Chains A and B, each alone.
Chain A
Amino acid sequence: MNVTIVLAGNPNAGKTTLFNELTGARQHVGNYPGITVEKKQGQFVKNGNAFNVVDLPGTYSLAAYSLEEVVARNYLIDEKPDMVVNIVDASNLARNLYLSVQLMEMGAPVTIALNMMDMARSCGMHIDADKLSELLGVPVVPTVARTGGGKNELIDAVVERIKKPMPALPRISYGNDIDNALDKMEEAIQQGSFLTDARPARWVALKYLEQDEDILKMGRKVDPRLSNQMEQIVKDVSAHLKKTLNTYPEVMIADHRYGYINAILKRGVLKRSKDQNRLQTSDKIDKIVVNRFMGPLIMAAVIMGLYHFTFNYSEIPVAWFESFFSGLAHVAQTHLPPGNLRSLVVSGVINGVGGVLGFTPLIAFMFLGISALEDSGYLARVSFMLDRIFRYFGLHGGSVMAFITSGGIAGGCAVPGVMAARTLKSKQERLATLLTVPFMSCGAKLPVFALLIAAFFSRHEALIMFMITIVSWLGALLSAKLLRSTIIKGHSTPFIMELPPYRWPTFKGLFIHTWERTWQYIKKAGTIILGISILLWALMTFPGPPESTRAEFARQRAAVVSSASSGLMEEIQRADAGRPLSPKARDIKQRLTSLTFQEAEARLRYSIAGRVGSALEGVTRLAGFDWRTNIALIGGFAAKEVIVSTLGAAYSLGEINPEQTISLSKKLARSPSWNPAVALSLIFFTIFYAPCFVTVTCISRESGSWKWGLFSMAFNTVIAFILAVLAFQIGSLFLY
């Protein structure tokens, strides 16, 4: 039997944990068609039944206010899954059942996974699962998703339930006035077959009473006359409720739904042996962690600690990766014949992609740290503490997640960050968020920073990284303020957010999250970055210099050789690393290498990329960028990792000594055109300049106009250039 089950539930109820527990690593992440809400899917087989599991976005309700709710609701209506497994946080029963009741009213087949029973028990809650099942009329299976407890029983209950016919829909009383209106509307809806193809009639009526925009819009399109009739009934009952009780239908419905749930809980389902608002461990932690004085200090310490952990512990594996790729380059160098193929393999592929892949351990460690903070519940506290500041800059506490996803704590990606802005209601706040999240230090910029820090500021790695974070946040907030007080004005919107109890992250969850994101990084290096590396290699190689230039270098080389005695030439050719050359031979050798270097540089300069880079040099010299850096920065628009790979290729094409492959950071540190001020300027420019191509596409799609995508490219690059020039000019005075 093939069974499709969807997981629905409140955020923080343990949905993702259960999903990981059920499907293991056999899962993939995509999007719901046409929209950017993440869709997680996975498979597993048990007792000969094949299960396809879809993880719906976490929601508190099934109103159509947020996009997640619309997605969850439409998925249930359109796809008609065999079973909805509703994860209910047992320690927070009433609020979680609010969603369950709505699922049942929709006519979805529901099995409840009563999760976190262990937590509930320690809060002094005694829950009778059988009684709950009996009163709700759906199977209820106690689970502890963190340990996988109850997983098998849950699957069995699902299979068992599918075989049985659907139970009757729950009929909750919403008070006389509403019940009468509901009855009247239900009858008319049934008769007119109004939207009933996939929805229960009473549910449609309920949505009309709740003034649900999604359903109203659909109804008006399908049958304007009947829709009008419904809206008239709603208007009448609204007027009556306003006059008699000074309330609104949607308020009555919500209150009665809770009333229904509380009545069930009181009938022997829930007994408490402790006060529910009693101080729990989590609250005790919060007393310190979000304390007015300690909170911000702890936040800074946590981020510093994360960077320290990431840079210190990834240093050794990063060195392994680097020496592996230099080794590989060396092998290719010695075994391939000189020419374009060797150049392509060594400079284009190995140095380009290797430069990016070399940072994989660092990226993995950063993702591990962020996943741990996310899963523990700490990130929600960060939103809580920063909302007031964000609001001052015209953003929203909800923007914090978008900022952090984009790399607010270095190592995210602006693409999901831009998508995370979807949860924001206000168009203005969303736009301001969309336009400023690309300033964060995404995982692709990280290798650039890591490279420059290793080359020029290696003694203060964590501190410099922390400073980069501060600078990018300040820049983002100030730009948001600028945008919100000029071109995108508008009021702020409500901030209501749950602060979930602190939890120890599970190893499985951390591993899956870290692996997912790291794998995306690796995949990108192997596909997009590889393609761009090859393209840029071609741009940096062709057209080759004219015959006259080549002849000129050949002539000069011949002149040097002929000036030396044949004995000296023999000495140079025979020499190995161990034995020092005579001063005369060394002089000849140096002149020859210098010529090779000059020729390579002339070749690079003559290429298409070299010409573009050189043409821009007049302007970029103000920021300390030479033409090679310009090539890298243009490549960086395709994807920020390309900055590192292009620098790698550009500096290996102009190699002083091709036999000796050293790491890029050492090359930069030794290069005469680099110094700490240039590095600083490049760091500033990289933080702020135009988002990568994919991000620009996303910004355009999310804002609904290419105008904003183009705006972000121009706006960001101008800011970046001004800051880079300042950094270089001031840095040159002090650092060099």
Chain B
Amino acid sequence: MKTINIRNMKRNQTGTISAITANGELGRRIRDMGVIPGAQIKIQGRAPLYDPVAVKVMGFTLALRNSEADYIEVAVDQT
């Protein structure tokens, strides 16, 4: 299975979060919002200027910048 970070995922692509490489405050924030290893994730879309990105995780929609999305690695589903 291929592992890439969210920045490189395409719209509507799905996968399972395999690792969050951020720690400290950023890592904490990401986890507080329910983004944790093992969660299903789907790229919902991107803002008009391609950044931030909106992802669907645990049934709700979360917006984060590409620079933060870089820390979230996803094992993408094969289509």
Contacts and interface: CB of A to CB of B under 8 A. Distances in A.
Nearest to B59: A276
Interface string A361-391: 0000000000000000000000111011101
A290 B54 contact: yes
Contacts of A277: 14, 40-42, 56-57, 59
A125 to B, nearest CB: 8
Given A385-B47, A388-B49, A497-B63, A94 B54 contact: no
B4 to A, nearest CB: 18
Interface residues of A, number: 45
Contacts of B54: 286, 290, 384, 499
A456 interface: no
Contact of A384 (B25, B42, B63): B63
Interface in B32-77: 32-34, 36-37, 40-42, 44-52, 54, 56-65, 67-68
B47 A251 contact: no
A95 B60 contact: yes
Given A65-B25, A248-B23, A95 B34 contact: yes
Interface string B2-39: 00000000000010000010010111111111101100
A60 B32 contact: yes
A61 interface: yes
A57 to B, nearest CB: 15
Contact of A388 (B52, B60, B64): B52
A384 B68 contact: no
Interface string A247-263: 01011001100100000
A496 B63 contact: yes
A13 to B, nearest CB: 11
Contacts of B27: 248, 250-251
Given A276-B40, A495-B68, A496-B62, A384 B28 contact: no
Contacts, number: 132
Interface in A456-509: 494-501
Contact of B28 (A65, A387, A391, A425): A65
B31 to A, nearest CB: 4
A494 B63 contact: no
Interface string A86-105: 00000110110010000000
Contact of A496 (B29, B41, B45, B51): B29
Contact of B61 (A255, A283, A385): A283
Contacts of B50: 388
A384 B56 contact: no
Nearest to B42: A277
Most chain B beta-carbon contacts within 10 A, residue among A98, A248, A282, A496: A496
A499 B51 contact: no
Given A250-B23, A276-B58, A499-B54, A387 B32 contact: no
Contacts of B32: 60-61, 63, 98, 254
A248 B20 CA distance: 12
B60 A494 contact: no
A242 to B, nearest CB: 10
Contacts of A123: 59
Contacts of B63: 383-384, 387, 397, 495-499
B64 A495 contact: yes
Nearest to A69: B32
A471 to B, nearest CB: 22
B44 A286 contact: yes
A416 interface: no
B33 to A, nearest CB: 6
A731 interface: no
A298 to B, nearest CB: 11
B33 A251 contact: no
Contacts of A92: 34, 58-60
A494 B27 CA distance: 11
A255 B36 contact: yes
Given A277-B14, A385-B47, A496 B59 contact: no
Contacts of A95: 33-34, 58, 60
Contacts of A387: 47, 51-52, 63, 65
A494 B29 contact: yes
A334 B47 CA distance: 62
B69 to A, nearest CB: 10
Interface string A261-301: 00000000000000011000011001100111101100000
A250 B26 CA distance: 12
Contacts of B68: 494-496
Interface in A54-69: 60-61, 63, 65
Given A496-B64, A496-B68, A499-B61, A254 B31 contact: yes
Given A60-B33, A251-B27, A499 B62 contact: yes
Contacts of A290: 45, 47-48, 54
B25 to A, nearest CB: 6
B51 A388 contact: yes
Contacts of A499: 54, 61-63
A296 B33 CA distance: 27
Given A255-B36, A286-B54, A498-B61, 11 more contacts: A92-B58, A248-B23, A277-B42, A277-B56, A277-B57, A384-B47, A385-B47, A387-B47, A388-B47, A388-B51, A495-B64
Interface of A: 60-61, 63, 65, 91-92, 94-95, 98, 123, 248, 250-251, 254-255, 258, 276-277, 282-283, 286-287, 290-293, 295-296, 383-385, 387-389, 391, 397, 425, 494-501
13 contacts: A61-B32, A65-B25, A65-B29, A95-B33, A98-B34, A248-B27, A291-B48, A292-B48, A384-B54, A387-B65, A397-B63, A496-B62, A500-B60
